[in-house]
């Protein structure tokens, strides 16, 4: 039997958007399993804790048996190897994403030549959606419906009402 193809989809997911959901669904159809890996980054000041972000991902993909949510710290390629993943999936929305993604992909290849990075495009209706913009719009009272899973939207609105963005 061929070994199973495990992909890692890493990111901050603060919070999960429908753009992320779109990429995860496409990835789950391409690979035997896909691990959505939330970076534990002590430097950033996130809106949601890592555990909250994991819970939102798990709730959203409850019905998809081959999607797992996990967190990691340290080098992505070390985490990928520890999970026996052969592929890193990243979403590319526009050319502006490309330069940074290209650098990361080549650095990761240098560190771990056996792990391949695959870029995927989300549906075009999500090509401008980012967690950062969604948080900003929500915190300023704008409408973010249709950009996030419903439950995530509820949690975001509740959070920004209680904790307006810093700055
Ligand atoms: O969604 P993001 O915040 O753009 O994701 C960035 C992420 C998590 C993919 C990147 O910061 C990462 O892989 N961090 C782990 C540390 C690491 O491996 N750094 C070297 C990357 S070449």
Predicted confidence (pLDDT) per residue in 108-165, tens digit: 999 999 999 999 999 999 999 999 999 999 999 999 999 999 999 999 999 998 766 6
Q: What is the structure's pLDDT at 164? A: 60
127 part of the active site: no
Q: Which residue has the higher pLDDT, 164 or 15?
A: 15
92 lines ligand 1 (CB under 6 A): no
Give the tens place of pLDDT for each residue, 74-121: 999 999 999 999 999 999 999 889 999 999 999 999 999 999 999 999
Backbone phi, then psi, for 86, in 5-degree steps?
-100, -15
Q: What is the mean pLDDT of residues 1-26?
A: 95
Q: What is the structure's pLDDT at 165? A: 62
> Cα(28)–Cα(152) distance, rounded to whole angstroms?
20
Catalytic pick among 20, 90, 135, 159: 20
Backbone phi, then psi, for 69, in 5-degree steps?
-115, 135
10 lines ligand 1 (CB under 6 A): yes
pLDDT grade for 44, boundaries at 50, 70 and 90: confident
Single out the residue of 60, 5, 55 nearest to residue 30, CA to CA.
5
Catalytic pick among 58, 64, 83, 93: 93
Under 8 Å between Cβ of 53 and 13: yes
131 lines ligand 1 (CB under 6 A): no
107 lines ligand 1 (CB under 6 A): yes
Burial grade of 143 (CB within 10 A; 0-12, 13-18, 19 or more):
exposed
């Amino acid at each position: 039997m061929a070994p199973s193809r495990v992909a890692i989809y890493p990111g901050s997911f603060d919070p999960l958007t429908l753009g992320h959901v779109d990429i995860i669904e496409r990835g789950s159809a391409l690979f035997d399993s896909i691990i959505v890996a939330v970076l534990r980054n002590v430097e950033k000041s996130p809106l949601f804790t890592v555990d909250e972000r994991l819970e939102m991902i798990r709730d959203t993909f409850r019905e998809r048996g081959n999607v797992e949510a996990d967190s990691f710290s340290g080098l992505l390629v070390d985490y990928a190897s520890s999970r026996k993943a052969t592929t890193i999936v990243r979403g590319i929305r526009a050319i502006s994403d490309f330069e940074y993604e290209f650098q990361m992909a080549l650095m990761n290849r240098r560190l771990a030549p056996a792990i391949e990075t695959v870029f995927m495009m989300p549906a075009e209706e999500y090509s401008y959606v980012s967690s950062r913009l969604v948080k900003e719009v929500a915190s300023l009272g704008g409408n973010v419906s249709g950009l996030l899973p419903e439950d995530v939207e509820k949690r975001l609105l509740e959070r920004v009402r209680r904790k307006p963005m810093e700055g």
